[in-house]
Chain A
């Protein structure tokens, strides 16, 4: 199982992304971390190049809907629609459904316990 943890957009808060990346690595998952301020296009290319099962997007600026849509569209356009996309960050409850409709497999709003996030990644990877 291989995962790309990515920070799309301009948001510079990477604590959550790095914590999740470390937890996944400890759980035996191969993890690639994009670094800050990647464009959706860069994330799509990295996901394909690294041949990951799951892309985890971390967004705390409020731009999660737009950025998730761009990444999902990009993956489909490049024939990589089977890659699962999950999203975490400051995601208000009202946006969870909207993200799911776009095709986001799982949403981890604020306060999601770390073990739940790790379990969800593992489950998504098994289903790809």
Chain B
């Protein structure tokens, strides 16, 4: 019989039975949904009372174009937004910065000033929709802009629900939109968490991501292990400020993938919920049950998809949606079938949304809580994943802890090593991909006829730059200079930087100006290049 392994690396037996659950204490380890340690889910009734939120990742071109796509998706039943920003915005460069050439409005929408944010959310009531902002190094100023737009719309602060990603540690490991060195970057994360916890009680000021690290190549167990360690690192920073864990932990959320083997993915989340609950209660002393809950977005993971015969990715997406539902996702997002080629078309985005809706309404996956609970296989896998995750966490501790492992580049090197191993398994066929390394068709797919390629419009950058120049001309230059000087001064001290950032935003300082003011004080990150 062929040997099979999980993506985490341990073998899968051909059959599981009661003997595999000998070490499981049902009351202690599995329990009831909605109760500690939440193995079966964070709510007692799960989808019977409330379906997962559907939140596709959208953003391209100018804020006005993105605003149009937001409204299109909302008209088709999407209930929440997830905003993509272009790379200059993510890195704190204005659209007319020489380094932004060729990148303005390309992988997301361009934001230079508060005025762009006002356009992006024109006609979208921010006291009624929840909006994720995929922004990290620039999370503090972009979220400040969002809060100011909400305020200008007249939204009450306690009605504003936003989730800035604000997870800088994973940016150093994967995705790469770091700007400042690790320590001041962590300070900015904590500043936004603290500010939001005090002023915007329903916002989720950090979304801890295993997702991108998995996309960069790590295993399932590593994805969960690193995510839990990153969350712990942020919690420690907050506690060091003298803030009580129950004052911010209930608003911590997560972002993970579910693209591998369905049952392993489900087990990963069941084990992760259990480990997180125990960590928060036992290690950090949280007493509010909401602090113990691992609330997560479960997304696709474009690395599940292949370039050959791209329409098959629609089928892969459906299995991912099923895995996410069975895993107990609070929010779901799927990659689009054309993602390996292009910025998603409106059609591809609608198919992804429809896939989640079909999973929710037709498949029966949402009919009862944790439908796989009690399965010999899934319970045994959950225990095995828990052991594996703990081992991966211990490995990082041996590197000096997650922050040190990120600073030294040891963690990045491990993820790159796993990515290479994965590629070798693809090449050998150990990890099968239909149409790519097995059941390969005899006619190469005419992929470019099957997907509608996004044509980036050269006018976007010109329009964005013209608008930026107009705002620079029209604003009160004295107010901008004063706000930026205050920001520099306060960055040199130890206080929370959100108030001076909000002042700069309101004066229509550009994102590049705000980023530069902080760079003057913090300097820039120097990547430990290892592979």
Which residues from chain A sit less than 8 Å from chain B, CB to CB? 9-15, 18-19, 21-23, 33-37, 39, 61-63, 65-67, 90, 92-94, 109-111, 113-115
> In the complex, which residues of chain A have a beta carbon less than 8 angstroms from the beta carbon of B288?
none
Task: Report whether A15 and B427 are in contact in the complex, using a CB–CB cutoff of 8 Å.
Answer: no
Question: Is B423 among interface residues, defined by CB-CB distance under 8 A?
Answer: yes
Question: Is B210 among interface residues, defined by CB-CB distance under 8 A?
Answer: no
Question: Is B75 among interface residues, defined by CB-CB distance under 8 A?
Answer: no
> In the complex, which residues of chain B have a beta carbon less than 8 angstroms from the beta carbon of A63?
102-103, 106
Contacts A10-B99, A23-B423, A33-B531 given; indicate if A111 touches B416 (C-beta within 8 A). no
Task: Report whether B531 and A13 are in contact in the complex, using a CB–CB cutoff of 8 Å.
Answer: no
- Per a CB cutoff under 8 Å, which of A12, A66, A111 touches B177? A12
Nearest CB of B to A121, in Å: 15
Within 8 A of A (CB), among B287-318: 306-308
Task: Report whether B420 and A11 are in contact in the complex, using a CB–CB cutoff of 8 Å.
Answer: no
- Per a CB cutoff under 8 Å, which of B91, B99, B107 touches A62? B107
Nearest CB of A to B110, in Å: 12
Task: Report whether A15 and B217 are in contact in the complex, using a CB–CB cutoff of 8 Å.
Answer: yes
Interface residues of chain A: helix, strand, loop or mixed (majority):
loop
A21 nearest in chain B by CB position = B531
Task: Name 24 interchain pairs, CB-CB below 8 A, sorted by A.
Answer: A9-B87, A10-B90, A10-B100, A11-B176, A12-B178, A18-B420, A18-B531, A19-B217, A19-B420, A23-B423, A39-B99, A61-B87, A61-B103, A61-B106, A61-B107, A90-B341, A92-B342, A109-B307, A110-B307, A110-B340, A111-B306, A111-B308, A111-B436, A115-B427
Task: Report whether B453 and A94 are in contact in the complex, using a CB–CB cutoff of 8 Å.
Answer: yes
Contacts A36-B176, A93-B447, A93-B448 given; indicate if A67 touches B102 (C-beta within 8 A). yes
> In the complex, which residues of chain A have a beta carbon less than 8 angstroms from the beta carbon of B100?
10
Interface residues of chain B: helix, strand, loop or mixed (majority):
loop
Nearest CB of A to B101, in Å: 7
Which residues from chain B sit less than 8 Å from chain A, CB to CB? 87-88, 90-91, 93, 99-103, 106-107, 171, 174-178, 215-217, 306-308, 340-343, 416-417, 419-420, 423-424, 426-427, 436, 447-448, 453, 456, 527, 529, 531
Contacts A11-B87, A37-B176 given; indicate if A92 touches B420 (C-beta within 8 A). no
Name 12 extra pairs, CB < 8 A, besides A10-B100, A63-B103, A92-B448: A10-B99, A12-B178, A15-B416, A33-B529, A35-B527, A61-B87, A62-B456, A66-B102, A90-B340, A111-B307, A111-B308, A114-B423
- The complex places the Cα of A35 from the Cα of B308 at a distance, in Å, of 29
Task: Report whether A9 and B103 are in contact in the complex, using a CB–CB cutoff of 8 Å.
Answer: yes
> In the complex, which residues of chain A have a beta carbon less than 8 angstroms from the beta carbon of B419?
15, 18-19
Contacts A66-B102, A92-B453, A94-B453 given; indicate if A18 touches B416 (C-beta within 8 A). yes
> In the complex, which residues of chain B have a beta carbon less than 8 angstroms from the beta carbon of A110?
307, 340-341
> In the complex, which residues of chain B have a beta carbon less than 8 angstroms from the beta carbon of A10?
87-88, 90-91, 93, 99-100, 103
